[in-house]
Amino acid sequence: MASGLTVWADQLEVGESSVLDLNTDGEPVPRPDILVVGGGVLGVATALACQRAGLGTVSLIEARSLGSGATAGAAGLLVPEAHQGSDPTAFVELARASLELWRGLERELPRGVGYKDMDWIGLAPQPEGFLANPPKTVEWLSEEDVVELVPGLGRRTTGAMVRHQGRVNPLRAVSRMAAQLPHVATGVVAAGCQAKGGSIVTVFTSKGAIAPGAVIFATGLPPDLTGLGLSIPANLVKGHLAATEPVALTVAGSVAPLATQIEGGRLLVGGTLDTSDTSSGVNAAVVEGVKRDLYTAFPRLAGVRLSHQWCCWRPHHPDDQPVIDRVPGLDNAWFTSGHYRTGILMAPATARLLSEWALAGRKPERASPWGLDGRWGS
């Protein structure tokens, strides 16, 4: 759950925020063909993919409001090329495919998803893996190039640029996708399930029992329901972000690791990994650090106020990679979890994998790297 005031919620139109609380007082569909549990970006994208694949009646239930978990607080950057050389090849390929699918959703949904094309600049020093095996489309930037593209930077440095990456306001994207789903119920907690003959027959929720044809769990962390018996190592990793007041400075897109220019001329800053911060809300000391880093990086912005500051918790597995798999021992249940730092980016491609798997009943080849097999002793 995000804590503090996110710039994303502030930037939604009235109609967009009301979609996040769909059918709160209503009952979920009692016998859907597909039940999706979890209304973060992964769950909403998955429900939409299932519906578009013609999987019958697709019902989504969410314990709170849509996008209220990690999704609410993400930076919304869609930058597969930044992972080149540092993450496994399969990860980068899934990320590239997902960026293409985000672009497709922008074209194909009636109001798009609020996708913005954006150039990405990684300032030196780049990770060793990136230097050794850079993206094909990388443009290396001299110090003079960086001065031109990132005015006001307080140090001289070289960089790497990749054009045509993307970003979304995660809540807008969730809202626009959810607006296409006829059966969403928020405020519904899935608490347990019952299986017979290797299939889930009933999911018990705070609003009664549901008898689904198939279930897909997209609950951030692995689903923790009685009767499911899943036990996979996972934890939450806290992170802080902030947005500035509009600034009199235009940077070219996203300048890693410093700032991304967003709507209204604001800069999005932070994205901390607060592994030892056990406090439950926004930690003022961490936000002070984010502000200090901004002023050091851009001395002419010293004194600029932060208009928004928030934190949220990334669902994480020990190998930093997500899981996309069938629930062991069940033929009509799948789950995805632990999307850590890139769940917004990966959502449409993950959703497509899950919907193809549910439709065909056969595991798509592309899902192999994300299974439980061989991970954590399984």
3-state helix, strand, coil in the chain (%, to 5): 30, 25, 45
Nearer to ligand FAD, 238 or 326 (CB): 238
What's the min distance (Å) between Cβ of 143 and ligand FAD?
Answer: 27
Q: Which of 342, 354, 355, 372 binds ligand FAD (CB under 6 A)?
A: 342
Question: Binding residues for ligand FAD, how many (CB under 6 A)?
Answer: 38
**According to the binding rule CB under 6 A, does residue 222 interact with ligand FAD?**
no
Burial of residue 248, with CB atoms counted within 10 A of its CB: 0-12 exposed, 13-18 middle, 19 or more buried:
exposed
b/e for 172-182, b at 16 or more Cβ within 10 A? bbbbbbbbbbe
Residue whose C-alpha is closest to residue 304's, from 248, 240, 241: 248
Q: Which of residues 240-259 bind ligand FAD (CB under 6 A)?
A: 241
Residue whose C-alpha is closest to residue 61's, from 37, 25, 27: 37
Distance CA 338, CA 372 (A): 12
Q: Dihedrals φ, ψ of 192, to 5°? A: -160, 170
What's the min distance (Å) between Cβ of 166 and ligand FAD?
Answer: 10
**According to the binding rule CB under 6 A, does residue 232 interact with ligand FAD?**
no
**According to the binding rule CB under 6 A, does residue 212 interact with ligand FAD?**
no
What's the min distance (Å) between Cβ of 132 and ligand FAD?
Answer: 24
Q: Which of 49, 312, 323, 333 binds ligand FAD (CB under 6 A)?
A: 312
**According to the binding rule CB under 6 A, does residue 114 interact with ligand FAD?**
no
How, if at all, do strands 199-205 and 208-210 pair? antiparallel
Nearer to ligand FAD, 212 or 343 (CB): 343
**According to the binding rule CB under 6 A, does residue 74 interact with ligand FAD?**
yes
Distance CA 6, CA 308 (A): 6
What's the min distance (Å) between Cβ of 338 and ligand FAD?
Answer: 8
Nearer to ligand FAD, 120 or 340 (CB): 340
Query: Interface mask (CB under 6 A) for ligand FAD, residues 286-305, using x and -?
Result: --------------------
What's the min distance (Å) between Cβ of 349 and ligand FAD?
Answer: 11
Query: Interface mask (CB under 6 A) for ligand FAD, residues 32-71, using x and -?
Result: -----xxxxxxx-----------------xxxx---xxxx
Nearer to ligand FAD, 184 or 249 (CB): 184
Q: Which one of 139-147, 158-166, 312-320, 355-363 is the stretch in contact with ligand FAD (CB under 6 A)?
A: 312-320
Q: Which of residues 320-339 bind ligand FAD (CB under 6 A)?
A: 339
**According to the binding rule CB under 6 A, does residue 348 interact with ligand FAD?**
no
Nearer to ligand FAD, 161 or 216 (CB): 216
Distance CA 237, CA 232 (A): 16
Decide if 183 contacts 58 (C-beta within 8 A).
yes
**According to the binding rule CB under 6 A, does residue 261 interact with ligand FAD?**
no
C-alpha distances (whole Å) from 106 to each of 23, 143, 264, 277 are 25, 35, 21, 37
Q: Dihedrals φ, ψ of 235, to 5°? A: -150, 175
Q: Which of 85, 159, 166, 239 binds ligand FAD (CB under 6 A)?
A: 239
Q: Which of residues 151-210 bind ligand FAD (CB under 6 A)?
A: 189-190
Burial of residue 17, with CB atoms counted within 10 A of its CB: 0-12 exposed, 13-18 middle, 19 or more buried:
middle
**According to the binding rule CB under 6 A, does residue 317 interact with ligand FAD?**
no
What's the min distance (Å) between Cβ of 141 and ligand FAD?
Answer: 22
Does residue 125 have a cis peptide bond before it, meaning omega lies within 30 degrees of 0? yes
Sequence-distant (6+) residues with CB within 8 A of 360 are none
Distance CA 86, CA 368 (A): 20
Distance CA 110, CA 92 (A): 29
What's the min distance (Å) between Cβ of 373 and ligand FAD?
Answer: 21
Distance CA 192, CA 201 (A): 11
**According to the binding rule CB under 6 A, does residue 135 interact with ligand FAD?**
no
Q: Work out the angle at residue 57's Cα, subtended by the Cα atoms of residues 55 and 60, and round it to the nearest 5 degrees.
A: 105
Residues at the site binding ligand FAD, with contacts judged by CB under 6 A = 37-43, 61-64, 68-71, 73-77, 189-190, 218-220, 239, 241, 271, 312, 314-315, 339-345
